Structure 1
Amino acid sequence: MSFKSTLATWAGKSSYWFLHTFRSGGSSLPGKITTKVDPDILKTLGQDYDVVIITGTNGKTLTTALTVKVLRQKFDHVLTNPTGSNMEQGIVTTFLTDHKSKNGKNIAVLEVDEANVIKVTKYIKPLAFVFTNIFRDQMDRYGEIYTTYQKILDGVALAPEATIIANGDTPIFNSRDLPNPIVYYGFNNQPDGEMRAHFNTDGVLCPRCQHIIHYKFITYSNQGKYYCPNCGWHRPELRYQLTQLGELTPNSSKFFIDGSNFNLHIGGLYNIYNALAAYSVGKFLGVPTSAIQTALNDPDERVFGRQEQINVDGKEIIIVLVKNPVGINQVIDMVGTEKDPFSFVGLLNANYADGLDTSWIWDGDFEKLTQMNIQQYMTGGERYKDITFRLKVAGVQDDQLWVENNLKDAVAKIKDLPTKRVYVFATYTAMLQLRKQLAADGYIKEGMA
C-alpha cells in the first residue's frame, strides 16, 4: 500500500468513526474524503476480493441482500453495501469498514448504480455481473433504456472475462454480442401462446430488424418468452428457470426454481425475479440448492424501504419504494392481492436521487387502486400537489383523501387512519425522510445511515 493510499484510508476510516460516534452516521462522506486524497483507492481496497456487481433499474437492493444471504450459507466472509449507497463514494466506504478474512475467500457483493459500473470496473475486475432489468427510469440521469444499458456496458467492457448472469426474460440483455461468458435466468412457468406487449411498453422492437417483438407469454412489462416473427431472434436458453408459481400474497411468495420449492417472505412477482437472480449467483458459486432454500426462506428478508414493516402505535406501516412506471404498477398489482381493508399513503419527492421529473406517475395505473378495499387515502412529500392531483384524476374522491404536505404532520396523521394496515408508497428521498422522522419519534432505532 502506497503512502497516498495509506493516508486516504486513514482519513476515510477516521471520518467514518467520527460520523458514527458523534453524528447520525454517513455512508457516502467517508468515501468522498478517501477518493479526494487518492482517486485510485478502489484498486487498493478491492484487491483480494472476488467481487459480484449487481446492477439494473429495479431490484438491486433486495437482490443484493438476498444474494448475500445465499452466499453466506457457504462463505464465511461476504462484504456488501447494505444501505443501498451504490455510487463510487458509497462503495469506497463499504470497503473501508470491512475487515478482510485472513483465512478463506473474501467475497464482495456490491449493488452498483448503472452509471457507476465503469467507476468500479476501472479499478476492480469482478468475478461476475448480475443484470436485473432495464426500465425507463430517471430520464434526466439515464435517458432511454438503450442509453442506460450502454452505461452498464461501458463498465462491463473493462472486465471482458467476468461472467454475466442476466435476466433472460429482458430482451435488451440479448441485444448485443459481448465477449463475456453469459448465463441467463428467467421464467418458464406458462404454456406457449401468442401475444404482444401493451402499446405503452418500452423496448419491444427487435434489435436486429426493428420488427415488433412477439411473446409466447409475458410476465410483466416487456419481460417474458419473446421472439421476432420476422428474423427469428428469440429469448436465449435459460440456465436457471422458475418452473412454477404458487400462492402470492402481499407479504409472501411460493414458487419452484428448477423443480425445487421456495418460500419468500416478501410479496410481488418482481421480487421473485430478485430471488431467482440470487439463486443463480448461488448456483454459479457452488452453493447447494438446500442451502439456498434455507437462505431465501429466512423471514428477515426485508430491507429498508422495500416492504419494510414498522409498527406505529398499533398501525402496521408497510413502506414500499416506488420510482418508475413499471415498478409502481408491479407494486399496485401486489397490494391488489391484499384481502383485508387498508389505507394508502403516497409520498412524492423529485430530488436528484428520485429523478427531477414527476411525469412518470401518469404512466402508473393508479386507477386500479380505486377498485381495491382502500378505506382512506393520504398524500404528502415535497411534490404532494402532483400526487394528489394524480389520485383525483384516477377517481379518488375528496372525502376519501387527506393531504399533509408536512412530513411530521403526516406521520402523526397515520395514527388516525381507519385501518390497521397502511401501505406507504414513497420515492427514494421521501422514504429516507419518512424513516428519519419515524426514528426521531422513536418508532425505529435509527434512520438511514
Structure 2
Amino acid sequence: MRGRLITATKHSAKAETAALAGRGAYWFLHTFLKGGSSLPGKIASRIDPDVLSQLGQDYDVIVVTGTNGKTLTTNLVVKVLRQKYDEILTNPTGSNMMQGIITAFLAQPKKGHGRGIAVLEVDEANVAPVAKYLHPKAFVLTNIFRDQMDRYGEFYTTYQKILDGIALAPDALVIANGDAPIFSSRELVNPKAYFGFQSEGTDDLVAPPNTDGVLCPVCNHILHYHLITYSNLGDFFCPNCGFSRPELTNTVTNVEEMLPTSSKFTIDGQAFSLQIGGLYNIYNALAAYAVGAAFDVSPTQMAEALTYDEKVFGRQEVVQVGDKAVTLILVKNPVGLNQVLDMIQNETEPFAFGTLLNANYADGIDTSWIWDGNFEELVQSHKASSYLVGGERYQDIAYRLKVAGVPDDQLQVQPDLGKVIDALPQFKEKKVYLLATYTAILQLRKKLAEGGYLKAGF
C-alpha cells in the first residue's frame, strides 16, 4: 500500500512539473511570438508522457472527429453549450493532435471547483490516444471521406482508428452523422444518436461511380438512395442485403436559403440562421444541435447561439485587402473542395478565384486529389473571370486549372505569397474567393498579419 502511494505521489509530482513547464512555454510563446498552439504540449509530454490524464481529470470530454468539418463543428458545439454551461475548454486553433490537445489544457487552467466540459477537435488517428487518457463522455462523428492517403489509407482504415478510440469508452454517447453509411455499419455497445436530413421520397438514386463509399459497407453491393445530399451522404439503402440508414434522432427538415455567406434552415421544427454558407456547414450546425439536445440545451437557446457572424480560422474568414473582400477557405480533399466550388457558384456578384496549394505533412503530401475537383464546372459557369494560383505546388494547381479550361491570359501565377497579397487589389472584381490547403493558409495569414490586414495569432 505504501509503495503504491509513493508511486502515485511521484507520478503526480512528475505531471505537475510537466504542466508547469508547458504553461511557462505557452506564456512565453503566446506573449512574445503570438503562437504556441502545440509546442508547449510537446514539452510537457516529453517530461511526462501521461500528463494529459491529470490535466483532464476534472472535465467531461466531448471528442469531435471526422474528415471534414471538425473545426467549425467544435466551434459551434462550444457556442451551443455555453448557453447552459459556464466553463468550457476547447482547442480553438485547430491543433488537433496530442501535443495540441495537451496545449489546450495548459493554456486554459481550470477556474471553478465543479467539473468542466472540454470540447475537443481530435484528428482521426489521435482519437484512441486521447480516449485512453480522457475517457470521453461523447464522441461526435462528422463524416469520413478519402483524405491524406499517405497518413490514413482508405476511409475504412480511418474509421477503424476512430473505433479503436470509441472502444476505450464503451459508456460514451456516440453522436454520428446518420447520412454517412459507414457510421452505422458496425455494431457498437455505446448508446447512439444519429443526425441527418429528412427524406420522405421514394426515389431510387445511385451516386456517381467515383464517389467515396459508393459500395455497401456490409455486402459491397452498390448503395442506392432515396435522397443524396452530397457525395455518399443521404437516405441510403442496399437493395441486396437490406442495410439502410438508421432511425434519426435529429433532422434537418427544410432548407430555406443557401448563399455563399449564409444559410437558413429548420432542425426539428426550430428555425436557424447561420452566417456561413454551404450545405456541408448545415451538417456542422446539425451536429452541434445534436450535441446540444443530448446535453439538454433548448432549441431556442441553440438557435440564438448559432446566430453569429464570427468566422473561424480559414473557414470563410473574410479579410479586407484594399477594396477587395477576400474570403479564405480551407480545402484539403476532393469532397470538401467540390462542396466549396458548389457553394461559391451561388454567388450573385462577379468574383475572382484563387487556389494556394502546399503538400506538407499537415496538408497531405499527395496532390493528386486536385484532379477530382470539379474545376471544369466553375470555369464553364463563367462566374469567375480572373484566376490566381500560388503556394509551394503552384505548378500542379496551375496545370490543373489550365486543363479545366482557364485561359492563360486570365490566370496569374504567383509562387510567392507576399506577391499573392500584392496581386489581390489588382483584380477587377470586388470579391475574391481564395482556397488554400492548411499550411498555405497558415503562411498566408502570417503574411497578412505582417501587412496589417489582420491580427497576429489566431
* TM-fit CA distance, 1:421: 0.4
For 1:234, the aligned partner's letter is S
Corresponding residue number in structure 2 for 1:38: 48
Corresponding residue number in structure 1 for 2:123: 113
Pair 1:327 & 2:343 matched: no
Among 28, 37, 40, which residue is 1:27 paired with?
37
Q: 1:299 to 1:23 in 2, by over 3 A?
A: closer
Pair 1:340 & 2:349 matched: yes
* TM-fit CA distance, 1:190: 5.8
Among 356, 359, 374, which residue is 2:368 paired with?
359
Corresponding residue number in structure 2 for 1:85: 95
Among 107, 124, 143, which residue is 1:97 paired with?
107
Pair 1:369 & 2:372 matched: no
- TM-score calculated relative to the size of structure 2: 0.96
Q: Map 1:10-409 onto structure 2 (within 5 A).
A: 10-189=20-199, 191-300=201-310, 302-370=311-379, 371-409=381-419
* TM-fit CA distance, 1:175: 0.8
Matches of 2:19 and 2:134, distance apart in 1: 17
Structure 2 stretches lacking a partner, 5+ long: 1-8
Moved over 6 A (4+): none
Pair 1:430 & 2:458 matched: no
Give the percent of matched residue pairs that are identical in Structure 1 and Structure 2. Answer: 61
* TM-fit CA distance, 1:231: 1.4
* TM-fit CA distance, 1:206: 1.7
For 1:344, the aligned partner's letter is F
- Which whole-Å deviations, capped at 9, do the CAs of 1:259-312 have from their partners, x for residues lacking one? 111000000000000000000000000001110000111122x20100000111
- TM-score calculated relative to the size of structure 1: 0.98
The question of whether the paired residues in 2 share the 8 Å contact of 1:164 and 1:182 is answered with yes
Corresponding residue number in structure 1 for 2:3: none
* TM-fit CA distance, 1:121: 0.8
SS class of match (1:382): coil
* TM-fit CA distance, 1:230: 1.2
SS class of match (2:389): strand
Corresponding residue number in structure 2 for 1:445: 455
The question of whether the paired residues in 2 share the 8 Å contact of 1:243 and 1:259 is answered with yes
* TM-fit CA distance, 1:104: 4.4
For 1:367, the aligned partner's letter is E
> Number of paired residues?
447
SS class of match (1:351): coil
The question of whether the paired residues in 2 share the 8 Å contact of 1:189 and 1:245 is answered with no
- Which whole-Å deviations, capped at 9, do the CAs of 1:359-397 have from their partners, x for residues lacking one? 000000000111132121010000000000000000000
For the aligned residues, what is the CA RMSD? Answer: 1.0
* TM-fit CA distance, 1:102: 2.2
For 1:59, the aligned partner's letter is G
Matches of 2:326 and 2:277, distance apart in 1: 15
Matches of 1:258 and 1:103, distance apart in 2: 35
Q: 1:266 to 1:252 in 2, by over 3 A?
A: same
* TM-fit CA distance, 1:207: 2.4
For 1:322, the aligned partner's letter is V
SS class of match (2:105): helix
- Which whole-Å deviations, capped at 9, do the CAs of 1:201-260 have from their partners, x for residues lacking one? 121222222211110110000000000111111000000000001111000001000111
Moved more, 183-192 or 434-443: 183-192
The question of whether the paired residues in 2 share the 8 Å contact of 1:189 and 1:244 is answered with no
